[in-house]
Chain A
């Protein structure tokens, strides 16, 4: 089954404790992206990647890192999480940027 998976689905952590949210797709898509969704602000793009080793900043990249060492994986790294990074995070992938996006199920992160 074609899908985008994210782990963990739920995470409660404390300020400053490094964490990684994984994202994996099995569709051989070139384009992958991370979004955060906050009440009243909607979805905002954090980082995206057009291919292996090619990444670029979205609208809200501060406090986040990404890497794209393999085509199928695009982890989101929070080196020193802060409470303002409490949010619902979605990973997505597509063949190309201008194409139907397939979204993961979301990761609800709470930073205390």
Chain B
């Protein structure tokens, strides 16, 4: 069983819809990262969380440490949000080693 599970694997939405991508993990963590990768492109770090909630523009990330769960929300989605969204965790005691989920492919249609 993977230590980091993302759902859904694939998500198709219409422009303007509210998007939620989920990340669950089975181990104790010191931090959780959300990354974005456009098709054929590089990887951009969106958020790094150890508790609570962060917001940047139309993106919101939340984490519930007790439930071992994080969500990435996109409000008023746009076709340029189409990308793979990747969750990664730093496991406690792992000396900053990152373990990744397999990613969620988001397609936003105009």
Contacts and interface: CB of A to CB of B under 8 A. Distances in A.
Interface of A: 31, 33, 35, 40-45, 48, 50, 56, 58-59, 90, 92, 96-106
Contacts, number: 60
Given A43-B88, A105-B42, A58 B96 contact: no
Contacts of A90: 42-43
Interface string B74-110: 0000000000001010100001111111110000000
B42 A104 contact: yes
Interface stretch (B19-27, B44-52, B61-69): B44-52
- 7 tightest A-B contacts by CB? A97-B96, A103-B43, A42-B102, A43-B100, A98-B31, A100-B45, A105-B42
A58 to B, nearest CB: 6
Contacts of B44: 103
B96 A42 contact: no
A101 B96 CA distance: 11
Contacts of B33: 101
B45 A98 contact: no
A5 B99 CA distance: 23
Given A43-B88, A97-B90, A102 B45 contact: yes
| B interface, size bucket | 20 to 34
25 contacts: A33-B98, A42-B86, A42-B103, A45-B97, A45-B98, A45-B99, A48-B96, A48-B97, A50-B96, A56-B97, A90-B42, A97-B96, A98-B30, A98-B48, A98-B90, A99-B48, A101-B35, A101-B45, A101-B48, A102-B45, A103-B35, A103-B42, A103-B45, A104-B42, A106-B42
Contacts of A41: 102
Nearest to A101: B45
Please indicate which of the listed interface residues A31, A90, A101 has the most CB atoms of chain B within 10 Å of its own CB: A101
Given A103-B45, A106-B42, 15 more contacts: A31-B96, A40-B102, A42-B102, A44-B100, A48-B97, A56-B97, A97-B95, A97-B96, A98-B30, A98-B48, A98-B50, A98-B90, A101-B98, A102-B45, A103-B43
